[in-house]
Structure 1
Amino acid sequence: MEQRDKRTRIQDVAKEAGVSVATVSYVLNEKGNIREDTRQRVLKAAEKLNYRRNAAGRALVTKQAQAIGLIAPKGRGVTDPFFSLVAAGITEEARRMDYPTILMPGEVTGEEVVNEIQNHLIDGVFLMEIEEDDRRIHELKSEEVPVVLFGQTRLPVGWVDIDNYRGAWMATSHLLELGHRKIVHVSGPKNDRVSRLRRQGYVDCLLSWDSSLVPVVEEGAMTRESGYQLGKRILQLDSRPSAVFVASDVMAIGLMQAVLEQGLKIPRDLSVIGFDDIPLASEQVVPLTTISQNATDVGRQMARQMVAQLEGKVPEQHILMPELVVRQSTGAAPESKPAAYAAERITLKQGPAFCLWSEKGTIDLERGNQGVFYADTHWLNTYQIKIDGVVHQPVWTDVQQNGFSMRYVLELGDGTLDVRRKLVLYHRSLVDEWSWTRWGGNRDCDFELHVSPDFRDVFELRGFQSPSKGTRRSELGESGGESHLYIGKDGVTRELNIVVTPSPVDNELGFKRWKMDGTAPSGTFRFEISWMVPGGLVMHDEHRMDDVPVFDIENAIWQRVLKRSSEDIEMLRQDFGFGALPVAGLPWFGTLFGRDAIITAFQFLVTQPLYAERTLATLAHMQGRVRSAATGEAPGKILHETRVGELSNTGVVPFRKYYGSVDVTPLYITLLEATWRRTGKDDLLHQYLENAEAALAWIQNELGRSSLGFLTFEASESEGLVVQSWKDSSTSMVHSDGTTARPPLAVAEVQGYVYQAFKAMSRIYHALNRCDDAAVLDEQAVQLQDRFQKSFWMESIHYYAMAVDRDGTPLQVLSSDVGQCLWTDIIPQSHRKAVVHRLMGEELFSGWGIRTLGSSENAYNPYSYHCGSVWPHDTSLVVAGMSGTHFLDEALVLSESMIEAANLFPDARLPELFAGHPRTDEQPFPLPYPLACAPQAWAAGTPWLLLVSVLGLSIDAVNKTITARPSPMKIGSVTIEDVPLDSQTVKFVFTPEKVQIPSLPKEWIVKVASKETCE
């Protein structure tokens, strides 16, 4: 990879001398009790590298701060309210850590800052405003000046930023949900980085909602006067908007002044939303709805980063998430019903039950993927609480795995209503408790419950049509409760009951109303909804939590993403009779999928092998035993998915027990061998040998049926899947001209899985002293690899085809499938470099992850399911392959990019997939795929596989060997505790210098691999 010339760093001296950064600092500053031979070694290294100590090195030793410079924004300086708040946060936090700050003018040059450093007047600098061509950043970086920016840069310096793009999306989405369609965006200067991001967020949100909507942007300066003038201009437009999203609160305040001077009302005539949440926003005549970025917290974070640098730590980057603050300046669009759409912001799961809610804690009829799900049935399609006829926005929300709490503050004119809510999801019920306290006033309020049961099969929500419906009965109880029965066409009775306390004043099916007495100081409401199915459909409940590894990662972004990953995989656990393992994803795939379960088990194999053991047991129990054209079942074949919903039970869809995947069966064999090797449990081989041999027999039989000698799939004879590899959408397999290839097809990574399975089964046979059987499989693996090389290699582009058809014609397109082949080892050593080069090129690497299809292909669509999108698990397998074949630089680049993408999604949660748009300065955020599952199992497993891959961590309990490498500098120290090893647990400590495993059993050995170029 390209190396850039740069000034020698203190880290370089430490590496040359073979000591820590702190030791170098003590030697160069003549501090500490350092051995003479070590001191001489450091001095010689510094002289050899022509090293000149910097402020960070000085501060690390002396612990005496001169001061930290704070460079104001150009032009605005201390008059900018947002800067004032950030500066206050910086000053407060820096002072707490004994560092004074000095305000410097925005026009100061990099050279002047360096002079201040060299004169020992300051130790570092905060830069509050960056531009695309700001030379100061480069000058400061080249001189090793400790610097923390407000705003992103590609340079490896510390920075803190707000997710401006997502904040703009939130603001625009809020207006759209209120029914507005004519929305103007008042933007800052065109070339201003922050303004550009907010403008792009507005445009993308508007068009993703409805592509026929027309973005309108008015540009100006980030001042009150500019906002005032733009407000007057907007009011003179021929087609006046009903809402305006303004890029800053200062501009918004000026704009509102212009609106009010015209005698117009806010929000009746014009809704206005700002950005920043400066103190003046809440003090306007009409308090301003805005996007809060908590400027003081930004400043505190910048100060903490600076002090960390001065103490010798690696610069970090942080993106803080904004929040929507709803006040009185936004309302429903005139003569328009507010849109019922609200994004699924809250996902809950308890055992086999899960539910999706809007950010307001509602389930809305018009949004089909919201609701309560259990046993492949959608139980509720409406659940809303209204006070005085309005669903209110909570001012505070706390979400846990199986519940949420919310708080609402309602102004009553003569008083305030303080409302608290706590909802808990159980295995077959939910309880929603409300309590309220009145502060002043005596006006009665209406409290209403709107609820509607559903009983639809989950496939109906995805567009499948039911040819006929069962019968429903509903009864209204005297005390306000309701009972609903649905007798499906499958003969199954599904029952939903609603219990309310106290009894309502008005009681109808689906509607309850209570009076909140104006003379009462407080009150409570309680609602319980339960659902029941016959015993045969009751899902196994898993009550006991597993022991999980405890981890601590120096890099805060990695720590945040891994924490979310662990929480998501815990949420997705479900017991199918052999111990809990993750379901595939919510809401559409909340059940067992063979492929997803196996890949997720691989991702967690090093740290949590129990998932792999349970996956082996569960899938062995459901292994195919008979032949069925309808379900794809065959003896030895491993399950694709299982369902218990009405459409599956009646055969409208074939997924009750469905075997329509070609790749799960070889993956099962590979998982068995890998799990045995990871755990050292010989019993696993004996317990599942029959299953593995049945799977092997199915594979070999299918290979024998293929004229090309590959594992292929035919078109489904039922309503099942047309494509039966992991890219299972019907249009995923394409030729270079963009046309769809039709089965039978031999897909690249599937042949890799077969090769991998042959090698794995050979190792199993060797362990069982069946060496002749092992030799046969080794020879079959070699022959398959030769056929693969001849049929799939495309010499013209130095890459492999995505697939070949029945005639042996290759699908000559760039695809991610080939990247997975690195993981399977089917690609010979001589061709790996060419494959990695293509994978890291701009056609396949989006800047966030590996695209499923190259951006230059005719069928490429960044928003498609499999023809240009990025799937995190797909990239994680590519990284595992690169790491295992010594392409460590590339593995780290992909890993860092995917973790950065995860950090930019809500709650640092990787979705099932996201759009394949390139990462650019104009588009510095990953764009979502509208219907992606989140949480999703193999997306949640991705960060763990990335981590163990870049750490080179593998555990071979059969040979009592652990292999690992020191952690990359960008990740810093990594500690993982409570990792199962034989009958105990161990702790791993990784630093950029070494690997430590305290209390390792004596018979074990550790092989520490070189980091090589993995920096």
Structure 2
Amino acid sequence: MKIVKNGNLMLICSNEGIIDSGKDPAAGLYLEDTRFCSALLLEIDKRSRKLQTKFKYDRLINRYLLRSSPLSSHFDVFLEETISLSGNRLLIKLRLNNYSGGSVDINLNYVLKCSYEDIFVVREQNDSYFGLSEEKADSEMHSDKGLEHEDATAFYNIEKVLPSGYYALGPGESIELSGYLHFHKVLKSESLLKKMLEDRPVKFSGKSIDNLPTTIKESIGDLKMLMIPTRYGDFPAAGLPWYATIFGRDSLIFALQTLNDLPEIAKTVLKVLGVFQANEVDDFRDSTPGKIIHEARLNYLSLNNQIPFGSYYGTIDATLLYIILAGEYLKSTDDFETVKKLLSNIEAAERWIYEYGDADGDGYVEYLPVSERGLQTQGWKDSGDSVSFKNGEFARPPVAFVEVQGYLYQAYHSLVY
């Protein structure tokens, strides 16, 4: 599996650069927790051989050798396909070079399969848990719905201008072709996350990388690939491909680890998570006032309230890490103006510690899940079977993680600062 991303649109393909869920079940084009397309394939009417596939964080490049005719004794036509992402757009550039001694007619055709699938279904989650029948899941995974689609939560649309057709090249001639796909998703109800997202490529660049080793340049490209463009700046997703959205814990740790070189990311994380901070008790979402969000989603199942992850707060450590990041950001940047604007969020997070953080009153901060559809383990190891005693028995809530008490101690120091 390979991933390409520069904005909110994400491309998943095989290691050979093939975008086809028939070859790799995860392959496709994703936007806002929906797989819009499960295949984008270039068909060529000539005998061809894949020469090379190259990947960068924001593009993939496929290079082919073609035979100009069935009678040609060797490959004498070169084709380069560059697929790049920018915001919610996929851009295609084709370059054809005719190295034969005669004219060549080439037919190029792009096959686009539109599926509009919930990312949780693509991940092969337990559909019975999410309230999906096997029949519905199967129909969503194997149908081609065209360039426009509507379901109970949203309208979907793809603008398509692709370089398909017949092209004639004279001896030694070269041509360049271009096209694009532009993806749109319009919700039928209000969403804080949707309002926050921007259709643009990633802005942040960090320090100049021109003279850095290739490994460092590629690492910075990996960081860019994680970024989610928001109206507050570029926000780091938790991970690709399945966690390419707003998270609490993961993004806060990312910001802490990159604070010295990329303080603007920490600033964005503090602002965005401050906007999502809980202000009410909502058992379905494991929400209590002052709590920092665990995860925000725009997939069908979340928007339709079959699962709580549209805005879900089932995490025991994010609120403490938020206070810690605010303190470390202030120490590192002396940006009192930003922290002053966040003071109400920091104070609300502090109140959460005293009013909701200690579920059983034993002096430790612990998690006690309430939502039947949420996470039953709410630390950094959040799979349901990750916390057990040495005899194999699962720990039952309330559970106080050791590292969370360390976060609490550091959060108190940050509040004093």
Which TM-score tier does this pair reach, normalised by the shorter chain? 0.7 to 0.9
Query: Corresponding residue for 1:377?
Result: 34
Matched, 1:720 2:381: no
1:726 Cα offset (Å):
0.7
Asked if residue 706 in structure 1 is aligned to residue 366 in structure 2, the reply is no
Tell me how far apart the structure 2 counterparts of residues 740 and 392 of structure 1 sit (CA, whole Å).
54
Measured in 2, the distance between the counterparts of 1:386 and 1:359 equals: 19
- Alignment partners' CA distance in 2, 1:578 and 1:533: 21
The CA deviation at 1:544 is: 7.0
Question: Cα 1:483–1:702, aligned 2, differ >3 Å: closer, same or farther?
Answer: closer
Q: Give how far 1:581 is off.
A: 2.0
Aligned position for 1:433: 93
Residue 995 of structure 1 is matched in structure 2 by none
SS of the residue aligned with 1:745?
coil
With normalisation by structure 1, the TM-score equals 0.36
Q: 1:711 to 1:500 in 2, by over 3 A?
A: same
Cα displacement (A) at 1:353: 1.3
Partner of 1:797: none
1:224-263 to structure 2, matched below 5 A, reads: none
Contact 2:316/2:378 (<8 A) preserved: yes
State the partner residue of 2:278: 624
Equivalence for 1:498: 160
- Mapped to 2, the partners of 1:542 and 1:564 lie a distance apart of 21
In 1: Cα distance, 2:416 partner to 2:362 partner? 23
Structure 2: tracts of 5 or more residues without a match: none
Aligned length: 395
Partner in structure 1 of residue 62 of structure 2: 406
Q: Displacement, 1:442?
A: 7.0
1:345-400 CA deviation, whole Å, 9 max, x = no partner? 3x22222112122244321123232211111111111111233487842x234434
Q: Confirm or deny that 1:548 pairs with 2:211.
A: no
Distance 2:287 2:30 in 1: 27
SS in 2 for 1:423: strand
Give secondary structure in 1 for the equivalent of 2:147.
strand
Alpha-carbon spacing, 1:390–1:625, altered in 2? closer, same or farther (3 Å): farther
Uncovered stretches (5+) of structure 1, i.e. residues with no partner: 1-343, 477-481, 505-513, 764-1015
Instruction: State the structure with more CA Rg.
Output: 1
Q: Distance in 2 between matches of 1:381 and 1:704?
A: 46
Q: Does 1:692 align with 2:346?
A: yes
Between the aligned partners of 1:418 and 1:448, the Cα distance in structure 2 is 17
Query: Secondary structure at 1:705's aligned position in 2?
Result: coil
Query: Any idea what the Cα deviations from partners look like across 1:35-59, whole Å, max 9, x if unmatched?
Result: xxxxxxxxxxxxxxxxxxxxxxxxx
Q: What is aligned with 1:458?
A: 119
Aligned to 1:327: none
Matching residue of 2:268: 614
| Correspondence 1:636 to 2:287 | no
- In the TM superposition, 1:59-458 aligns within 5 A as 344-345=1-2, 347-366=3-22, 367-388=24-45, 392-393=49-50, 395-411=51-67, 412-414=70-72, 415=74, 416-438=76-98, 439-440=100-101, 447-458=108-119
Distance in 2, Cα, partners of 1:611 & 1:602: 9
Q: CA deviation at 1:576?
A: 3.0
User: Which structure shows the bigger proportion of residues in strand conformation?
Assistant: 2
CA shift, 1:525, in A, is 5.3
| Aligned partner letter, 1:385 | L
- 2:229 aligned with 1:575, yes or no? yes
Taking the aligned partners of 1:748 and 1:612, their CA distance within structure 2 comes to 25
Hey, what's the Cα distance between the residues in 2 that align with 1:583 and 1:718?
Answer: 26
Confirm or deny: 8 A CA contact 2:288 2:356 kept in the other structure. no
Cα separation, 1, equivalents of 2:156 and 2:344: 39
Shift of 1:650: 0.2
User: Are the counterparts in 2 of residues 401 and 571 from structure 1 also a CA contact under 8 Å?
Assistant: yes
Q: Distance in 1 between matches of 2:219 and 2:205?
A: 15
What is the deviation of 1:451?
2.0
Which residue number in structure 1 is paired with residue 147 of structure 2?
484
* C-alpha deviation, 1:688, in angstroms: 2.1
Aligned with 2:337 (options 666, 683, 687): 683
For residues 718-757 of structure 1, what are the structure 2 equivalents within 5 Å?
A: 718-757=372-411
CA 1:364/1:604 → structure 2, altered by over 3 Å: closer, same or farther? same
CA–CA separation in structure 1 for the residues paired with 2:345 and 2:254: 20
Partner of 1:95: none
The partner residue of 2:132 within 440, 449, 467 is 467
Structure 2 contact 301–307 (Cα < 8 Å) conserved: yes
Alpha-carbon shift at residue 524 of structure 1 (Å): 5.9
Distance (Å, rounded) in 2 between the aligned partners of 1:447 and 1:543: 29
SS in 2 for 1:730: coil
Quick one: structure 1 residues 450 and 410, their matched pair in 2 at CA, closer, same or farther if it must change by over 3 Å?
same
CA deviations over 1:455-498 (Å, ceiling 9, x no partner): 011111112436376999xxx9xxxxx952211122x1111243
Q: CA deviation at 1:639?
A: 0.7
The Cα shift of 1:630 comes to: 0.5
For 2:204, the aligned partner's letter is: D
Distance 2:209 2:170 in 1: 52
Report if aligned partners of 2:367, 2:397 keep a CA contact under 8 Å in 1.
yes
Take 2:179 and 2:29, find their aligned partners in 1: how far apart are those partners? 15
Q: 1:542 to 1:388 in 2, by over 3 A?
A: closer
Aligned to 1:654: 308
- The SS at the match of 2:285 is coil
Q: Assess, with a 3 A threshold, how the Cα gap between structure 1 residues 750 and 390 changes in structure 2: closer, same or farther.
A: farther
Distance 2:377 2:159 in 1: 41
Partner SS, residue 124 of structure 2: coil
For the residue of structure 1 that corresponds to 2:161, the secondary structure is strand
**Separation in 2, partners of 1:530, 1:547:** 24
Distance 1:442 1:564 in 2: 41
Please give the per-residue CA displacement for 1:880-908, whole angstroms capped at 9, x wherever unaligned.
Answer: xxxxxxxxxxxxxxxxxxxxxxxxxxxxx
Q: Secondary structure at the match of 2:330?
A: helix
The answer on whether the counterparts of 1:494 and 1:532 sit within 8 Å (CA) in structure 2 is yes
Identity of aligned residues (%): 27
Deviation at residue 404 of structure 1 after TM alignment? 3.1
Report if aligned partners of 1:385, 1:391 keep a CA contact under 8 Å in 2: no
Are 1:654 and 1:718, in contact at CA under 8 Å, matched by a contact in 2? no
How big is the shift at 1:499?
Answer: 2.8
Q: Is the 8 A contact 2:47 2:66 kept in 1?
A: no
Task: Report the CA distance shift for 1:453/1:543 in structure 2 as closer, same or farther (over 3 A).
Answer: closer
Matched residue, 1:532: 184
What's the offset of the Cα at 1:575?
3.0
SS in 2 for 1:733: coil
Shift of 1:648: 1.1
1:590 is aligned to 2:251: no
- Shift of the 517–703 alpha-carbon distance from structure 1 to 2, 3 Å rule, reads closer
**Residue pair 2:359, 2:366 contacting (<8 A) in 1 also:** no
CA contact (8 A) 1:396 1:406 kept: yes
